[in-house]
Structures are given as structure tokens and as C-alpha cells.
């Protein structure tokens, strides 16, 4: 959640009646109005209290906002009204308000004025006391480089990380410099011309216009049309052109907008679409290039003057790939630099690195698949890692797969693949059809046996019938990629784990929990996670209550409901002051062999959205095995409290990523929606939330 501003909060478990009394204790001047005391006395008290009668939960005064709008949420006494920059804000029955405000780049003043009552068609509310002003700073685009001053901006150089690349790769660079200058980059003896991004856009349009003129006149104007848009630079041969620059360019080049950004599913204009001071270019690394920690040098020339800047970010061309190895379990693996995750790796997995991007090594899983892993997660690539420490010798990470063994244990069924060394792997899950696919990179099919791991005849007779696995198939997908598929029974999965024992790769498939026959939850272990806690506040409610407290109150009631139904409950925290890391929360669930992991949260919005329009109950999953549970919990909570249904969604959340059990995060309601938040403060509503979650668990288990 993004709301971090401090503020007061209600006493834990405050009911609606207590809320009103608490608000009146904070706003004693308005108590006179509510109890029928003379209005003149009320007005006098209000004038004395002034701006103290307006509590603002968000945004913080003098805070920074990147979007074109923000919302202001807070609390006033019930029955009062409030305006923001002269516009009356919508106020809930409990005195909580929310209002959207458009922002201009730079400082924006939000002038808040309390009213004695909300305005109506019959009469407008009357201002009470002094107003309150809050400053919100919208992100300003960096000022353009002046055309009258020859300059290169070192802090604008991109990529702003060190790179290790192979021959044949394209590397794009950009820099901001004086408009109208001739900008180039020199690296390893090559001079690369740069072009202003705004000029590229103009010349694309020129080519389009020239093509239209040529077509209209039906003349052979190709030479002139090409000349009018040719990417030539003064004093240079036209050795470099821009990709996609055909005479009539209907590609995305014509609509490039460098200032667009995207967040929470919304695309917005964060910076100008094109800048006359931004220059871009790229270099293709030649087959014989040998850059060794080379710093590119950028040069700008104009009116006979020249200025140069050396990039602090080095470029290295690798002579050959080198070997590394993971140093701990649950090593994060990403599909691109800082991008989405795939199956984490155990320690001791041997890998082939063929480049780097800042602090992340680029790992070649196969000839067609690269991933990125932080250097600190591998050896010899520790914190002091540099290209000079590359290890280029040793056996390549490859192995034949000769057998696939099966086994049963307390967790469930297991597939065992003996290898000669620890290779990288990836698990892909599907529920329809119901299967797990294990890909092993560097492995080659030489498989003769698919059989039980046991050799003793008595043990084989006891353990030969797997409970979850219905069939096993395998194939060589491509050179160095071996794939094993476990077809599973039914249409539900209860979890899986993948690890190594020595050099044997093991895929564990969890059994369904064995429940009592009386319909109770006896035999079920559920890990309940009250989101945030301790120093992690989460979002802030309209009255200043921290999300961590509301999450805990709901979770403790959920725990009690589960235990009344017979379940064994494991809590990731039980007090407001506990700070538990995301990793430790997941570890608690894993160590306890929980059958389900349910994380309880309450929601907020990023800037640029409207709290009155976007609110309700939602749930989140990461693995397909969790979608059914996520949908059922969400539906049951909605049935209990009646908030709008805003969906069951995929999201990359730490408490949804565990694979050993279905794991779901539920957002009950919105801390910043005045009416929803007021309801969630009521202990009776919290009890209904707990019963709704319990009902969702029962529904999930009742489906065969």
C-alpha cells in the first residue's frame, strides 16, 4: 500500500457509536451543533478550533506525487461538510471524506474549508473557522538543456549500469545534450552518431508527407522524397540509419512517446512525449570486438565548440561465457533485468553466464532462453565481483537423464531424477488439464526406466500406488532441454515443491489433507497472515488508523472462527508491534506444512485514481492451484459484508508465491473509501468478515 502518512487512530475495536464519540472528543466545537446547543455558541467554538477540526490522512503535507491527480482523504465531525479549493467534497455518514484533485506540475495548494453542514439544494453549508492548506508537489520534468549553452548531462546517460555483452548484440544508449548539437559516442574505436528523438519523429512525418506528394502527382519523386527525409548528418557519410524508416512508416516508430509510463494497469503521460535535448543511438557489437571495461565517451559539437563526457558505466565484451553456482536456496530468477520471476533455484545449481546488466548476471538456460540472477546470489560472483574474477574452466552444466523414479512420503508423491550435477530447472503448472511440467536445462534424454525408487519387493507393494500422479511422460524439447510431465488426478492441486537431494532432482506433489468425516475442519492446518505489522504500517485509513491494526483485528477473529470449526491455525503474527518480513511469513507457512495460506489485507489506491469509484473486495493468486480458493474466499466475504466485487486477480505478491500449498491474499475493503472503512471499524462487521472467510474455506473443501 502506498499511503504512509502518520496520523491518529481509533482505539482497537471501536464500534460505530464509539467512533462518533471519539470524533466529537476531537472536534468538541461541533458537539454543540449535534446536541442542539445554540448555533452562535457552536460557530464561536468552531472559529476558535479552526483548521484543527480537519484531519487529513492523505496526502501528507508537502508530499510528492508523480501522477496528474491525487485524492485527499480524511475525517471531520459527522454532519459537517468540507470544501477543497472551493469544491465541496463528498462526506460519508461517519464524517470520513474523499475528494479527487487535479494537479499541475510543481507545487499545488489544497485549501480546505470546514462547513457547518453539507450543502443541499435548499441551502449551502456555511464556512466555519479558519481553513487549512496542504501542499502537494507533482513531479516536474527535468528542465530542458538550453540551446545557447553547450552541455552534456552525465546523470542522463542510459543505460545507467555496467553491461557485459556478447558479439552480435545491440546496445542502445541515450543522453541529454544541447538542442541542435551534433552528438556522438565513442567506444572501443567506434564513433556512433546519435539523433535527437524529436527530430526522428519529425523526419518520419516528412517521409510520409513526401510519399503522399509523390503519389498525388504520379511522378517519379522517389529520389526527392528519400532525400527530404534522409538521416544524414553534416560532414559524415550516411553510414547509420534508423530501423523502420520506410517512406511510408505505419509502424510504432511514428507514435513513439518516450514520456509514457504505466502503473497499476493505467498508462499516463509522466514526462514530455519528445524532447529536443534527448539523443539516442545504438551499437551492434562486432564479431571481433574486445572491449574490456571500456567507458563510452559522449561528445557534443555546435558552432565550432566541443564538449565531452565520459560515462561512469563500463561496457565489456565477453571473450566467452563463464561458470557460476548458486550459493543459497530460493535464489530469485528473473526473465529480464529486474523483471518477472520464474521458479527459484536451490543452492549448488551450476550455471553458464554470458553477460551482465548492472548487479544481475545474464544466465543462459539454453540457446533460446536467458534469465537474470543477482551476482550476490552466486559464486564466484560475490559483492566484490568483477570481470577479472570470471571462472571460465570446468565441466559444463549438462547431464543425461537415465531414470525417473517414483516415491511416496509424508508430503505426497515424488518424482526423482538422478543427475550427474545440479542443473537449473523450471516448473510450469496447469489445472485444466491437471498437470505439472518440470523442465531441466542442460539435460539430455537417455531414459530407460520409469519405476519406483524402492528395490525391496515388500516396499514396492506398499508404495507403488501413487495418490496424486496419474501418469508420467517425458520428451526432449530441444537440445539441452528435457521435459517431464506429471499428469495428475482430479482437477485440483494442493501444492508442490522442487529441490535437490545430492544431485537428484525431486518434484514433490502434495496429498490432499485428510479431514474428519463430520464436516468439521479437524485435520486441516491453515496459516493466517495478518498483513503488515510492526514498522510496516500498510495503508492509512480516513481517520489515520493503520492498515496493520485492522488486518490483525480481522485475522484474530478469523483465527477464532477457524478454531471453533476444528482447524489448527498458525499465525504469522499475533500482536500489533511484531515486524515479520515477507520471507519469514512464507517460511512460517512452509515450516508448519500448512494446507492453506491466507493473508488478510485492506486496500488503497495509487495516486491518479478515485476512491469513490474504485473500491470493494478482491482476492489475489499467483499459481493456478490457488485460483479456486481465491475466488471462493472473495465471493464468501462479499456475501457476508456486501461490498462490491472487484475481482479475483493474478498478482506477483510474496504471500501468493509459495508453491507448497494454495496461497491467497484477500483485500477485504478499502481503507480510503469513507463508507467501507467506517463499516470495517465495527467489530460486528469484522465478525462477518471472519465468518465469510470461514465459509469460503468450507466451500473450497466441500468440492470433491
Q: Would you state the pLDDT for residue 120?
A: 86
Of the candidate ranges 117-121, 251-255, 512-516, 587-591, the one whose mean pLDDT is the lowest: 251-255
381 close to 476: Cβ distance less than 8 angstroms: no
User: HSE of 104 in the Cβ direction (CA atoms, 13 Å)?
Assistant: 4
- Give the range with max mean pLDDT: 49-63, 162-176, 633-647: 633-647
Q: Would you state the pLDDT for residue 460?
A: 54
The tens digit of pLDDT for each residue in 287-333 reads 877 788 899 999 999 999 999 999 999 999 998 899 999 999 999 99
645 strand-pairing partners? 617
Looking at the predicted structure, is the pLDDT value of residue 253 above 50?
Answer: no
User: How confident is the model over 342-351, as a mean pLDDT?
Assistant: 96
Of the candidate ranges 97-101, 169-173, 531-535, 644-648, the one whose mean pLDDT is the lowest: 169-173
Q: Would you state the pLDDT for residue 43?
A: 46
Q: What is the mean pLDDT of the chain?
A: 84
Looking at the predicted structure, is the pLDDT value of residue 525 above 80?
Answer: yes
b/e 3-34 (16+ beta carbons within 10 angstroms → b): beeebebbeeebeeeebbebbbebbebbbbbb
663 strand-pairing partners? 597
Question: Looking up cell 514526462, which residue turns up?
Answer: 271
Looking at the predicted structure, is the pLDDT value of residue 15 above 60?
Answer: no
Report residue 525 as a C-alpha cell: 492446518
Of the candidate ranges 356-365, 380-389, 622-631, the one whose mean pLDDT is the lowest: 380-389
Comparing CA positions, the residue from 570, 610, 562, 565 lying closest to residue 586 is 570
- Give the range with max mean pLDDT: 4-13, 117-126, 269-278: 117-126
Looking at the predicted structure, is the pLDDT value of residue 13 above 50?
Answer: no
Q: Give the DSSP letter of residue 623.
A: S
Task: For the full predicted model, state whether its pTM sits above 0.85.
Answer: no
Banded pLDDT at 131 (limits 50, 70, 90):
very high
Burial class, 52, CB count within 10 angstroms (exposed 0-12 / middle 13-18 / buried 19+): middle
79 vs 3, residue with greater confidence: 79
Q: In angstroms, what CA-CA distances link 391 with 323, 325, 332, 375, 480?
A: 6, 11, 22, 14, 22
Q: Would you state the pLDDT for residue 122?
A: 83
Cα–Cα distance for residue pair 278/630, rounded to 1 Å: 46
User: How confident is the model over 431-451, as a mean pLDDT?
Assistant: 93
| Strand blocks (E) in 2-131 | 55-58, 63-65, 69-75, 81-84, 87-88, 90-91, 96-102, 106-115
Looking at the predicted structure, is the pLDDT value of residue 656 above 90?
Answer: yes
- Domains annotated for the chain, with CATH where assigned, are 17-138 (2.60.40.10), 154-315 (no CATH), 321-389 (2.30.30.40), 399-510 (2.60.40.3500), 525-702 (3.40.630.40)
Amino acid at each position: 500500500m502506498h499511503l504512509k502518512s502518520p496520523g491518529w487512530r481509533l482505539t482497537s475495536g471501536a464500534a460505530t457509536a464509539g467512533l462518533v464519540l471519539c470524533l466529537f472528543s476531537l472536534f468538541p466545537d461541533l458537539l454543540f451543533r449535534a446536541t442542539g446547543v445554540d448555533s452562535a455558541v457552536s460557530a464561536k467554538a468552531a472559529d476558535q478550533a479552526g483548521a484543527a477540526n480537519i484531519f487529513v490522512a492523505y496526502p501528507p503535507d508537502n508530499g510528492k506525487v508523480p501522477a496528474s491527480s491525487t485524492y485527499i482523504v480524511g475525517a471531520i465531525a459527522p454532519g459537517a461538510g468540507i470544501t477543497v479549493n472551493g469544491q465541496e467534497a463528498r462526506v460519508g455518514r461517519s464524517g470520513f471524506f474523499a475528494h479527487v484533485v487535479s494537479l499541475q506540475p510543481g507545487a499545488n495548494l489544497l485549501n480546505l474549508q470546514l462547513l457547518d453542514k453539507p450543502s443541499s439544494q435548499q441551502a449551502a453549508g456555511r464556512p466555519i473557522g479558519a481553513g487549512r492548506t496542504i501542499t502537494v508537489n507533482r513531479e516536474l520534468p527535468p528542465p530542458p538543456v538550453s540551446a545557447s549553452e553547450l552541455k552534456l548531462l552525465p546523470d542522463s546517460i542510459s543505460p545507467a549500469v555496467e553491461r557485459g555483452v556478447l558479439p552480435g548484440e545491440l546496445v542502445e544508449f541515450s543522453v541529454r545534450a544541447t538542442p541542435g548539437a551534433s552528438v556522438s559516442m565513442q567506444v572501443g574505436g567506434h564513433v556512433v552518431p546519435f539523433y535527437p528523438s524529436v527530430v526522428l519523429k519529425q523526419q518520419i512525418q516528412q517521409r510520409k508527407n513526401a510519399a503522399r506528394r509523390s503519389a498525388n502527382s504520379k511522378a517519379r519523386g522517389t529520389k526527392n522524397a528519400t532525400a527530404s527525409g534522409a538521416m544524414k548528418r553534416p560532414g559524415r557519410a550516411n553510414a547509420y540509419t534508423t530501423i523502420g524508416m520506410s517512406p511510408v512508416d505505419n509502424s510504432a516508430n511514428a507514435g513513439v512517446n518516450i514520456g509514457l509510463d504505466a502503473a497499476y494497469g493505467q498508462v499516463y503521460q509522466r514526462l514530455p512525449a519528445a524532447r529536443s535535448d534527448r539523443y539516442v543511438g545504438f551499437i551492434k557489437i562486432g564479431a571481433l570486438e574486445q572491449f574490456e571495461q571500456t567507458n563510452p565517451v559522449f561528445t557534443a559539437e555546435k558552432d565550432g565548440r566541443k564538449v565531452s563526457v565520459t560515462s561512469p558505466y563500463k561496457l565489456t565484451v565477453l571473450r566467452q561465457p563463464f561458470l557460476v553456482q548458486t550459493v543459497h536456496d530460493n535464489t530469485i530468477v528473473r526473465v529480464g533485468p529486474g523483471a518477472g520471476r520464474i521458479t527459484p533455484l536451490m543452492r549448488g545449481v551450476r550455471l553458464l553466464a554470458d553477460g551482465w546488466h548492472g548487479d544481475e548476471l545474464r544466465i543462459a538456460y539454453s540457446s533460446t532462453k536467458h534469465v537474470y540472477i543477482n551476482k550476490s546470489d552466486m559464486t564466484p560472483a560475490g559483492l566484490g565481483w568483477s570481470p577479472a574474477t570470471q571462472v571460465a574452466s570446468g565441466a559444463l552444466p549438462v547431464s543425461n537423464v537415465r531414470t525417473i523414479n517414483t516415491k511416496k512420503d509424508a508430503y505426497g508423491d515424488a518424482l526423482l531424477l538422478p543427475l550427474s550435477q545440479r542443473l537449473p530447472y523450471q516448473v510450469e503448472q496447469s489445472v485444466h488439464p491437471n498437470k505439472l511440467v518440470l523442465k531441466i536445462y542442460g539435460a539430455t534424454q537417455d531414459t530407460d526406466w520409469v519405476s519406483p525408487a524402492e528395490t525391496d519387493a515388500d516396499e514396492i507393494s506398499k508404495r507403488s500406488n501413487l495418490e496424486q500422479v496419474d501418469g508420467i511422460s517425458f520428451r526432449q524439447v530441444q537440445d539441452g532441454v528435457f521435459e517431464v510431465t506429471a499428469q495428475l488426478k482430479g482437477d485440483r492441486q494442493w501444492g508442490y515443491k522442487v529441490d535437490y537431494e545430492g544431485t537428484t532432482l525431486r518434484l514433490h506433489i502434495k496429498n490432499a489433507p485428510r479431514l474428519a468425516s463430520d464436516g468439521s475442519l479437524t485435520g486441516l492446518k491453515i496459516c493466517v497472515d495478518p498483513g503488515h505489522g510492526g514498522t510496516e504500517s500498510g495503508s492509512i485509513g480516513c481517520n489515520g488508523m493503520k492498515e496493520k491494526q485492522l488486518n490483525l483485528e480481522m485475522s484474530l477473529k478469523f483465527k477464532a472462527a477457524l478454531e471453533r470449526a476444528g482447524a489448527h491455525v498458525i499465525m504469522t503474527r499475533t500482536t500489533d508491534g511484531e515486524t515479520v518480513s515477507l520471507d519469514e511469513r512464507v517460511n512460517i507457512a512452509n515450516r508448519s506444512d500448512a494446507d492453506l495460506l491466507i493473508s488478510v489485507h485492506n486496500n488503497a489506491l495509487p495516486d491518479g485514481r478515485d476512491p469513490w469509484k474504485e473500491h470493494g473486495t478482491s482476492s489475489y493468486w499467483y499459481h493456478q492451484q490457488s485460483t479456486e480458493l481465491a475466488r471462493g474466499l472473495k465471493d464468501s466475504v462479499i456475501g457476508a459484508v456486501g461490498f462490491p466485487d472487484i475481482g479475483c486477480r493474478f498478482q506477483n505478491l510474496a504471500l501468493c508465491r509459495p508453491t507448497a500449498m494454495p496461497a491467497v491474499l484477500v483485500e477485504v475493503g478499502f481503507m480510503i473509501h469513507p463508507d467501507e472503512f467506517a463499516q470495517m471499524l465495527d467489530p460486528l462487521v469484522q465478525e462477518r468478515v471472519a465468518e465469510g472467510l470461514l465459509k469460503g474455506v468450507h466451500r473450497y473443501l466441500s468440492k470433491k
